[in-house]
Structure 1
Amino acid sequence: MEDFDVFTDEIKFTKPLYKNILHKYAYDIPATPNGPNYQSSRKLLAEESLASGDDAGCAFYLSEAMSATLRTMAVYRDEQQKLAQDKLRKITSFIKPVKDLIDANPISKTEEKLLLDFFSNDTDDITDILNTFEINEEPPLHRRYLNFGSVNNVDNFQKILSEIPKEWTVIQLTAPYNPNENLKPLEEYRTEINSIYLSLFTNDYLEDCGLPPITVNIPANVHKEGEDPLFKELYSLLGENYKTIDNAQFLNNKRLVQNYWNKREDIDLRMKSVINVMDKEWLGGWGSLLTGKLVDKDLKQKVIQLVDNTITDWGFIKLTKKQKFLLCNLIESCPTLSSQQIKSCIRRILTEHGNTEDIRKVLKCCENCTKEFKFTNELCLKCLSKCFESIHNFTLVDGIKAFSATANLVKDGDELSALKKAKRHPVILIVDELLDTFPWETLPILNHHPVSRMENIHFLYYLYKIHEKQIVDGHFVAKCDVGRYVINPGNLLHFAFDLEPLEEPRPHGEADAIIRGVLVQVVERSHRGDSHS
């Protein structure tokens, strides 16, 4: 125990020892692991992968860190259903791993003869009986991937992403690992997030740039001086909202009712303020990574051409594929972003997402920086600027000006003016439990997007394979005459009506189609004049 300091009671792990312990902890897991522990280990492995430049591995480990407890419950429920359908399944589930072990380690003819002589003459009968319990079919990948095991690997993860509809943009937002999760109650450590991992599993420009799924670490919980941190404000707002709703049952006069609606309006205004801070101060230009794929592919090619022209004209000879990818997304979304958001994001892309080894070679550290950095965002702006100048042979200011001019062409020009309200394919958000309270779908950059949420990539792939035949152009297709009612959160609908009751329960996946069907009937009835509001 040479790493143990008897005077401080602390263990100082060297990097190799730390990695060995982490890998042993991460891989020696039971069939149904403890959810929080599994998530923590996967987040740590993701950070190691990102630091070593393994973007595919980082995205995979982060995908494994989503809703592990819920996934365990789904695996358990699936197994219980199988046992209910097949009473002998428990026997076969014990026999199969033993058979796999025997098949993987074949014995010689001599050893086989000795074994057969040792056993009774009834071995053939016993073998025939055991064969009746054999599981002949291997479950499809979408069922196996839901489990915890060797099938969950980077190759299968990428295979899944290649199979889901090309129209989908799948994005995951993950809170970093925080050791205080093991020491503090949820109410305290859930507000300690200062950055998030934004992973793009599928995106319009990934294939064009020749990239696997990528992850970027972006600032979070950003707020102006004197204001409450964003997480604290949101949870305070939600607490007041629940309290207001609970007290609504005691309203018994006009004054109390008016006070109730005044409080509701105040909560609405505060929520709008939270969304505004998320958009302006927190995400800024990084919001461009949340956008869906353009239906009009010509617009996408024009954006790529503009970025390529800027790279060529200015001689960005050492710009990485990841940097080009991030710039394409940013330039495409610049009509909905402010100039300050665009410039700030360009600066971070050019300085923090370049080749790490190139930066180490030219880095001349100031007193606050070190060459032993894990991520480039640990370095100060002064050091990063000098590194950029040494690598590209012109200043960071000139680099920002170059791409800002390209952004202005898109933002103010006529050729790509259609980008602001261009039709887009669906966005599917996978959001960490510590982040899922935020109203991501209401961000201005997603105003013209069809957006939905999913617990993790495992459930998304599972449901897609079940309903694959009913998904056309990235949308679930269902009959429009199966609805009962419509939720009207925006007070946009003014017609009340009755629909025919359902003959039988419908699958949850038809929810969007139900709402579409109801809206069609609203319009038809309003035109006929038989609505009653």
Structure 2
Amino acid sequence: MEHPEHLLKVEDILKELDSISNINHIARSGLAHQRSQKFKADMCTDDELSQIYCLVDSHVPTLRERAAMRYERLLSKSEVDEETANQLKFLKDIILTKCPSNINERIQEIMKQVYEMPKEWTLIQLTSQHTPAELQNLNAKKFETNGIYITVFNCGQNEFQPFMVKADKPTEYSNKIELIQEVVALISANKERLMNNSGRKNFKNYREKMEYCRDRDRVDENMSILVDKMEKSWLKHWRCLFIGKYQNNEIETYIQKSVENYLKNEQLLVKSRCLDILYRVVKGAYLLDSYEIEDAIEYCLESNDKLVLNKFSNFLLTLNKDINSIYKDISRHPVILIVDECLDCLPWEMMQVLRNQPVSRLPSFHFVYLLFKTHEKDIEDGHKIIRNYNSGAYIVNPDRNLDLMERRMMCFYKYWVSDWHGIHDRKPTNDEFISMLTDTEIFLYNGHGNGAHIMSVDSLQRKYVKAVVMLFGCGSIRINKLGPQTEMYSSYHMYLISRCPCVVGMLWEVTDIDTDVLTAEFISNWIPSKASIHWSNLDKASWTKGIDSSKFVPIQQFQGRELNNPELLRALCHSKNTAKYYMTKAACVVRGLPVKIK
């Protein structure tokens, strides 16, 4: 029987299928893909690397698709040069959600990328466990706090293989604690209180002022308590995994040899992954209770012999004390948190284990690698290098209703970064805003939100944002939950798609005075200046009140300290102590790569 000419032959169909076999795509929604990958991770208990792959792939699949689509559109533009086109093709391949036709190939791809990234980095991926309750949830204001997978990636060659542990859902007296729900409620109450007092210049009486101060202190205290619960009721002994590598490699070698010798002498055998965990327990022993150290040791040894656990615990504590007495400089390299979007509202950086640690966050492993490859030529010793810090710009009070803030910040900018240019007391055009992001090395925004209301975010994601961006407005880099069964969204995503190396901003609403004090302290700690007297050594009483003073008076006495720290993350750590309120310190986070001025 002859085939009609208009029908395809079997050979043609097979050829067509073969031609599309390598196309990357998602045949379902991002949320479904996210949940299915988390479900697979729950099932792959006998294959740790497969679990890790599924967890990596579960992070922000829709955002990754949006980034890939944007790069595809940019490639279709005739004005794209060959070098840019090749880079966009490469980045598109990095970020796409691929069909896991060969999971071993995907695992090896991740391993290769981990080895390729700077040896100074430690990546800590936090992935919320999926539960059936989330499928049934129709309330956008309801948040579940589940178990959490903690995946550790030691970047660089000759490092330990990635490993993963699970922290169970937080409990208190056998009752589950809804930490995320509590944090969201606290942020909402904080916003309502600030909105109710917005624009107020004076209180009616002393009693009203005291009530406001008590409310403010209560919010600060409650957030501090919640952070403590995150560490002790949720992460427990696993919080030691968040500690980065020591800058002095001698300390790392000392820890490794000491632990290995102890194991050999005591005739104890542990797996390679557990060796890495024990090294981290040593680093964080001073933060853990003795029973928590024993819990970590029990996990590694797979033994509950109390005498063995107690002896090993005492050894690790003594080793930690020895390190602090032998070595003067125990500074650590940066940690990059890879935070599941449903965990992003939590102030991880305020945990004691991270409080003085240079730390940033990103939404997925793919975006860490994408930013690394984008800025690879400018990365030295694990930091994106800023060479021309005088190339800076700012936008201050574009909505013209924050007069005191404008006076403070313009006075500071004129004093400390007099070579910078900027716009204040008016709205910039869209082109002016975009130009500041694409043509300068450092950009600061002081106003309401993040400026998205005065700029086209669609035009932003078509550009390459080379500037380090600082958005000192309320909730400037918050990730918003749009519905109970949708992925979350943030204007910050546009900066990420635009390959911006680093964005500093706020997770929730903050007060202007405290934010201005933090901003000025941070910038003067990080960016060198021609000013004759360092900002920290000036009497700023009038400045804080918004009184425009062109001449500052140096204070009589001041504490001697390092006046400038070229590392952005470390400078921010130190500067947070100048903020008066805990909520301001906790809100201020960094998204992106570690950055350094050189």
Give the direction of change, closer, same or farther, for the CA distance of 1:509–1:459 in structure 2 (3 Å limit). Answer: farther
Deviation at 1:282, TM superposition (A): 2.6
5+ residue gaps, structure 1: 1-26, 88-135, 352-387, 389-394, 488-492
Which has the larger displacement, 76-85 or 324-333? 76-85
Deviation at 1:438, TM superposition (A): 1.1
| Partner deviation per Cα, 1:32-79 (whole Å, 9 max, x = no partner) | 741101111111222233x11x22222221111111121122122222
Letter aligned with residue 366 of structure 2: H
Give the direction of change, closer, same or farther, for the CA distance of 1:253–1:276 in structure 2 (3 Å limit). Answer: same
Q: For 2:50, which of 57, 60, 77 is the aligned residue?
A: 57
Q: For 2:268, which of 301, 316, 337 is the aligned residue?
A: 316
1:344-493 matched pairs, under 5 angstroms: 344-351=295-302, 388=303, 396-413=305-322, 415-417=323-325, 422-478=330-386, 479-484=388-393
Question: In 1, distance between residues paired with 2:90 and 2:308?
Answer: 46
5+ residue gaps, structure 2: 1-21, 397-408, 423-434, 441-464, 470-501, 505-518, 539-549, 554-598
Q: For 1:295, which of 240, 247, 264 is the aligned residue?
A: 247
Q: Does the 8 Å CA contact 2:64/2:97 hold for their aligned counterparts?
A: no
Question: In 1, distance between residues paired with 2:87 and 2:201?
Answer: 63
Q: Does the 8 Å CA contact 2:113/2:369 hold for their aligned counterparts?
A: yes
Question: In 1, distance between residues paired with 2:87 and 2:177?
Answer: 54
User: What residue number does 2:579 align with?
Assistant: none
- Is 2:61 aligned against 1:68? yes
Question: In 1, distance between residues paired with 2:23 and 2:528?
Answer: 56
Deviation at 1:212, TM superposition (A): 2.4
Give the direction of change, closer, same or farther, for the CA distance of 1:155–1:186 in structure 2 (3 Å limit). Answer: farther
TM-score normalized by structure 1? 0.67
Q: Does the 8 Å CA contact 1:67/1:433 hold for their aligned counterparts?
A: yes
Q: Does the 8 Å CA contact 1:480/1:513 hold for their aligned counterparts?
A: no
User: What residue number does 1:304 align with?
Assistant: 256
**SS at the partner of 2:165?**
strand
Q: Does the 8 Å CA contact 1:427/1:450 hold for their aligned counterparts?
A: yes
User: What residue number does 1:112 align with?
Assistant: none
Q: For 2:165, which of 207, 212, 216 is the aligned residue?
A: 216
**SS at the partner of 1:78?**
helix
Q: Does the 8 Å CA contact 2:171/2:234 hold for their aligned counterparts?
A: yes
User: What residue number does 2:294 align with?
Assistant: 343
User: What residue number does 2:468 align with?
Assistant: 510
Q: For 1:496, which of 412, 419, 424 is the aligned residue?
A: 412
TM-score normalized by structure 2? 0.60
Question: In 1, distance between residues paired with 2:86 and 2:134?
Answer: 41
Deviation at 1:522, TM superposition (A): 6.5
User: What residue number does 1:369 align with?
Assistant: none
Give the direction of change, closer, same or farther, for the CA distance of 1:531–1:34 in structure 2 (3 Å limit). Answer: farther
1:168-179 matched pairs, under 5 angstroms: 168-179=121-132
**SS at the partner of 1:477?**
strand
User: What residue number does 1:165 align with?
Assistant: 118
Deviation at 1:475, TM superposition (A): 0.9
Letter aligned with residue 338 of structure 1: D
**Number of aligned positions between the proteins:** 404
Q: Does the 8 Å CA contact 1:299/1:416 hold for their aligned counterparts?
A: no
1:191-210 matched pairs, under 5 angstroms: 191-193=144-146, 195-202=147-154, 207=158
Question: In 1, distance between residues paired with 2:144 and 2:71?
Answer: 35
Question: In 2, distance between residues paired with 1:244 and 1:46?
Answer: 42
Give the direction of change, closer, same or farther, for the CA distance of 1:202–1:185 in structure 2 (3 Å limit). Answer: farther
Q: Which has the larger radius of gyration?
A: 1
Give the direction of change, closer, same or farther, for the CA distance of 1:429–1:401 in structure 2 (3 Å limit). Answer: same
Give the direction of change, closer, same or farther, for the CA distance of 1:448–1:227 in structure 2 (3 Å limit). Answer: same
Which has the larger displacement, 241-250 or 154-163? 241-250
Q: Does the 8 Å CA contact 1:287/1:445 hold for their aligned counterparts?
A: yes
Q: Does the 8 Å CA contact 1:223/1:277 hold for their aligned counterparts?
A: no
Deviation at 1:504, TM superposition (A): 3.8
Deviation at 1:222, TM superposition (A): 3.2
Kindly indicate which of the two structures has a greater share of residues assigned to strand: 2
- Is 2:46 aligned against 1:39? no
Q: Does the 8 Å CA contact 1:191/1:232 hold for their aligned counterparts?
A: yes
